[in-house]
Structure 1
């Protein structure tokens, strides 16, 4: 049943807002909303390629899995590209690479606009793994030594060792390229296709458990060598400098997280190297997460000189852009001072 009502309804009194306040209020709301949003994120994902399954990649993996890139406002995709990471960078398929240092140098010398912008290990970190009957360096004479690719880091580091020992390549011993990565090289040594191989962790540690001998740990020689550079194109730095700095802030923080949170770092390591042996994981972490890991991401020019040995007239500075780490230093980021 409907009831008729002939009077006026008593409405609540509404207080109107002055025109100036009407204009300012939406701006204040917008400011509050912006302040609560995540930091700026690059419109498209930033792709970073790494070229080997090695403990040297640990800070990169930590940055991704602990969401440090997200924290600093970049959406990063990691991708494993073996052998052609530099080519992917030059083709624009990825934006950064953790790739073989010699490949960066070769491409730069051919005219590519590449720059090394950070580094995390400044000595050569490879082991010469041999069959157990090879007990001394002198026993290498007449033998076959395998490397993953001729001209890449394991091969170059082997050349530096041969020079120290007074050996001549292809006279005192033979160096062979074994198709594939470190796991394939390890199997080649175990099965006797070669007598030894320049192998990095964790594959070298697996080799010890399979009966091989670690004849030489190159790191014990303290050979200056830019073992773990992060590189990009100079044109990308020029047009996306803020994004590059965000990536470096996350990368630096990942180095600190790796050093300071062993348990978490080992979990990340196990995920990417696909090994669940606690002894191997602990040793890989000791090498790459503590002993050889820099406290900074600065590029040491002496380590670049080690990479350039044999290239007469090559200037280490021409391969490096140190200005980005210097920007972080000016921001007050701790322990980023260049040397």
Structure 2
């Protein structure tokens, strides 16, 4: 990442800080301090994310066909065995693609849980210094791309065609752009924490204040608290499976050939159900592929477990057309 790219990342994060009243991003003062460190050569480039062009376009985000894994033992449960193959190879096994729709929903949910475990492990790695920021960013791109393909294939019930991959490509590029900004925030906030004493000293001198050990430590303590925790990183990372869950339902309903089929949005009725999902249920039914999709409309994003259920109802289908 060169200076212009780093400056762009800082500008976006500072703007987000103002827009969210400090909930996301970094302050202008923190951005200034980080740029000074960068100019002084005090920031390890390997800890910074991939440059924007490399992270959001090109081979890293290009969707390519993933062949279904070979058939698995007939005596094994479809859901459990399919998940094992997905975890080991990244490919959806043929037995899962050919399974009845409800079993594919179960496998989709299991794959979402596996994604959560993967990104939690990555969050643990970066907060403990086991991987560089750039490597964490690369692995997250791989996980998001793989999960999007898995869910789309499960929804369709067969491998995707080149044309279908092209239509899905926009979703992948959008997620890569969101991830780039997230990766920038993880990196710069961790850098603030690691360089807390240097940043504190520079701030005191710039403000014309006496640089004492006590004053430096007081400011440094606040800066150390700016590092994103494992829980914070994992929670935000889990949101990236929302677009994949949406792809599952869209591809599933694209296979509907019966004109008499309608779709009912089924919100999971518990304390975690959000208003948009409840509203989506109340405003239904819908024609296939129309209306709000789980994972997209939900305020919980990747946490959504709502479903869309098919129903044969000629009269209602006619009224919706």
- Report the TM-score, using the length of structure 1 for normalisation: 0.25
Instruction: Give the structure, 1 or 2, with the largest relative contact order (CA under 8 Å, sep 6 or more).
Output: 1
Question: Which is greater in Rg?
Answer: 1
Higher normalized strand content (fraction of residues): 1
Higher normalized helix content (fraction of residues): 2
- Report the TM-score, using the length of structure 2 for normalisation: 0.26
